[in-house]
Amino acid sequence: MLIAILLGFIFSLFLVFTGKVFRGKFAILSAAIPLILFIYFAQFIGRISNGEVITEMHSWVPSFGVGLGFTLDGLSLLFSLMITGVGFLVFLYTAAYLKNHKYLDRFYGYLSMFMAAMLGLVLSDNLISLFVFWELTSISSFFLIGFNNSNEASRKSAITALSITGLGGLALLVGAIFLGVVTGTYSIAEMLNSGIDIGSNSYYSIIVVLIFVAAFTKSAQFPFHFWLPGAMKAPTPVSTYLHSATMVKAGIYLLMRLTPVLGAHELWNSTLIVVGAITMVYSAVHTIFRTDLKGILAYSTISALGILVFLIGQGTTDALLAASVFIIVHALYKATLFLMTGVIDLQTGTRDTTVLRGLRKVLFPVAIAGFLAAISSAGIPPSIGFLGKELTYESTLHFEYSAILLIVLIVITKILLLYSGFVAGIRPFAGKLPERFEKVRMPSPLLWMPPLLLAVTGIVFGVFPGIIESSMIKPVVSALGKDGAEVHLQLWHGFNTILWLSVLTIVIGTILYFLIKPTARLEAGIAKLEFLSPKSISLKIWVWFTKFSDIWTNFFQNGYLRSYVSTILVVLIALTGYSLYNTAQFNINFDKFSKVTIYEAVISLIMLVAIFYTVFTRSRLAAVASMGVIGYAICLLFVFYSAPDLAMTQFSIDTLTVILFVLVLYKLPKYLRLSDYKTRIKDGVLSLAVGAIITVLVLEVLAEPVNGEVSDFYANNAYLLAHGKNVVNVILVDFRGADTMIEISVLSIAAIGVFGLLKLRLKKSDQR
């Protein structure tokens, strides 16, 4: 499985060197990668349907309990087949859609990287590695959404998507760490088998909230949904792939995967039901007010994702069964509608539903695909969408809490999704062909075959549901901790309440389709309420936050070194002083002062005099000389206390420092008094406070019992292991050799930078 995941990344890297080959007629060869992967995963269908779970382990960071563990069960197999199957058709479609595009190889590189990241995400058993792949999907989708980087709207949409999903990624990382601490493992399989009741842990609520933030941002749940309509600025293959079978389904996958671990608790179930219900109804209503085909599909996608979250929240076997089927339903019809929209846009130059009519006469195969996708979206037999709708109604009607309210909400949502499906899949092809579209011609088969194949597959699965029953659906339900053996799919369930609800949905939805026509007036009307939308509110918060950041930055980052140092010292005094006030326990033994020799007393007195002279002198050179005196006095103290190596080091540093200061200060103007009396008083008080804090801190350290374990280790092993008699030098060069090398590298880089600045000579025209 690791090779299967890396294949996409390897192909992306391969394109860096051979990209020109895949820009022309050989672009179609790129589709071989997802096709090979689809065949690879398809061969596991028989084993998985027999109840087998395939695992693969690779060591990564064992010291932190992080490994590259992969699990292939019913759930991960379903998503893997969707990722590679739809991916294969998208790769084919792209060869014609972006034919001869100068950056086609770059697009395939991003697409392959995204596919590989999604496979790693759904196959990962370790939460930390899952997070890594989760973030890779966000990064690669950023490049895909912003592929048309010369377009400002595309760039803005890409940044918005990355910001929202990136926030969720951080939440996922923290949630994964909490979950690992609580369970003692990052392996999802081990969490399931551990028998630990995470719901009784005090961290349960925090974990659940963090996982929700991750899933809701990725799967565009209210109020984080607004990034998805903006992502429609991406090329159609991107919209198809990210928003039907991959990107937005990642959050759904996370919720389904962790349902056996975190589910069956009121916080989990109630939150998912509420958020899912709000999202599905809110977004379904929005489809009425959109005229752009991609806009309609975007909001219907959000609504469909809300339905999935709504079903996962119910947590029953029937609900999880309905969610499993609906994942397939949505992937098939939504990918079809997106690909169909791309063909229409490419051939007619517009996606405006107010002008698109009669295209069946010039795009007949595309019209068939749109019609089949529309009836699957509407849940009309014999499509797989009908089966998914029936299962959704059944699970909701039999839910034990607020069943009536929930069934009303889901029926309203399905009615509106039927309307949007008809508008997107049927309306552009119905009626009389306008004169402006009479010259439209059939595109390459690579553009109309993929959507037609997906649409027909939706009908085949509906007529013969047994194809997916044992091969996909039963293993998925079993992977979610339910009894998959009880699953039986059939198109006809007889005359019952569920059927009458379906009839009601179809009738009302069809009436709405004929009564409500997409118009610019409706879209303008909903635009008046834009100030209440989560997107507008988020933008206002962003503006306020930016203003606050400007004020904060201008106050603390004002360009004055004095201000920066003062701020650092004040924070140091506050934090360290507070800690010492509560914990300091040292006692000063004044009897030890009697042991101070005359030499030590004289040296200390010299240092004090030099310090005062440094502070109050009006001559820079005198101040530098006084600081040199202080350094040499410290050297003598080191000699008195039998530390000649430190004394020599201090002597060298002080001598060099004095010379450098003199050379620099020699070029400066005469001594100027640049601060007033109050500022000097403030600086003096601050300096005394820092000195007092450091003094107390040193005394506190000296009062602590000495643990000689580390010192003994270095003393005993310096000669034996490093063959050096100077313990300090051995520590710096051998035991801490890497650290010392990095420090030297940093100093070298800084020195090169300083030298470059000193030698820099700008022309007057370049000076600012």
The residue that leads in pLDDT, 495 or 5, is: 5
- pLDDT, average across residues 603-626: 86
Residue 587's pLDDT is: 67
Domain termination site, one of 460, 487, 518: 518
pLDDT bin (cut points 50, 70, 90) of residue 22 is: confident
Domain termination site, one of 677, 704, 731: 704
* pLDDT higher than threshold 60 for residue 472: yes
Task: Characterize 179-213 residue by residue with b for buried, 16 or more Cβ atoms within 10 angstroms of its Cβ, and e for exposed.
Answer: bbebbebbbbebbeeeebebbebeebeebbebbbb
- pLDDT, average across residues 657-683: 77
Residue 740 lies in a domain: no
Residue 5 lies in a domain: no
pLDDT bin (cut points 50, 70, 90) of residue 425 is: very high
Residue 250 lies in a domain: no
Domain termination site, one of 659, 685, 704: 704
Residue 514's pLDDT is: 92
Q: Which of 176-180, 199-203, 426-430 has the lowest mean pLDDT?
A: 199-203
* pLDDT higher than threshold 80 for residue 638: yes
Q: Which of 329-333, 344-348, 525-529, 609-613 has the lowest mean pLDDT?
A: 525-529
Here the CATH number for the domain that contains residue 644 is 1.20.120
Q: Residue 611 — φ and ψ, nearest 5°?
A: -65, -50
Residue 212 lies in a domain: no
Nearest to 12 by CA among 114, 86, 141: 114
Residues 533 and 587 in one domain: no
Residues 634 and 669 in one domain: yes
- Mean pLDDT of all residues in the chain? 88
Residues 526 and 511 in one domain: no
Cβ(373)–Cβ(336) under 8 Å?
Answer: yes
The residue that leads in pLDDT, 586 or 245, is: 245
* pLDDT higher than threshold 60 for residue 705: yes
Other CB atoms within a 10 A radius of the CB of residue 440 amount to: 16
pLDDT bin (cut points 50, 70, 90) of residue 709 is: confident
pLDDT > 90 in the chain, percent? 48
Residue 674's pLDDT is: 66
Residues 569 and 669 in one domain: yes
Number of domains in the chain: 3
Q: Give the alpha-carbon dihedral of 585, 589, 592, 596, to 10 degrees.
A: 80
Residues 428 and 538 in one domain: no
**CA 220/CA 298 separation, integer angstroms:** 10
Residue 702's pLDDT is: 75
Residue 242's pLDDT is: 87
* pLDDT higher than threshold 70 for residue 672: no
Residue 597 lies in a domain: yes
Nearest to 166 by CA among 144, 134, 121, 143: 134
pLDDT bin (cut points 50, 70, 90) of residue 337 is: very high
- pLDDT, average across residues 103-121: 93
Q: Give the alpha-carbon dihedral of 372, 373, 375, 377, to 10 degrees.
A: 170
Provide the 3-class DSSP secondary structure of residue 669: coil
**CA 266/CA 247 separation, integer angstroms:** 28
Residues 421 and 532 in one domain: no
Nearest to 119 by CA among 267, 250, 300: 250
pLDDT bin (cut points 50, 70, 90) of residue 73 is: very high
Residue 610 lies in a domain: yes
Residues 681 and 570 in one domain: yes
The residue that leads in pLDDT, 490 or 144, is: 144
Residue 272's pLDDT is: 95
Q: Residue 432 — φ and ψ, nearest 5°?
A: -90, 140
pLDDT bin (cut points 50, 70, 90) of residue 318 is: very high
pLDDT bin (cut points 50, 70, 90) of residue 680 is: confident
Nearest to 226 by CA among 272, 270, 282: 282
Residues 293 and 373 in one domain: yes
Residues 551 and 579 in one domain: no
Q: Which of 113-127, 200-214, 292-306, 593-607 has the lowest mean pLDDT?
A: 593-607
* pTM of the shown model: 0.80
Q: Which of 39-48, 502-511, 554-563 has the lowest mean pLDDT?
A: 554-563
The residue that leads in pLDDT, 639 or 209, is: 209
pLDDT > 70 in the chain, percent? 97
Residue 412 lies in a domain: yes
Range of the domain at 451: 267-518
Residue 276's pLDDT is: 95
Residues 513 and 525 in one domain: no
Nearest to 122 by CA among 216, 41, 182, 36: 41
Residues 459 and 590 in one domain: no
Contacts of 109 (CB under 8 A, 6+ apart): 11, 12, 15, 16, 19
Residue 124's pLDDT is: 93
Residue 614 lies in a domain: yes
* pLDDT higher than threshold 60 for residue 255: yes
Residues 582 and 454 in one domain: no
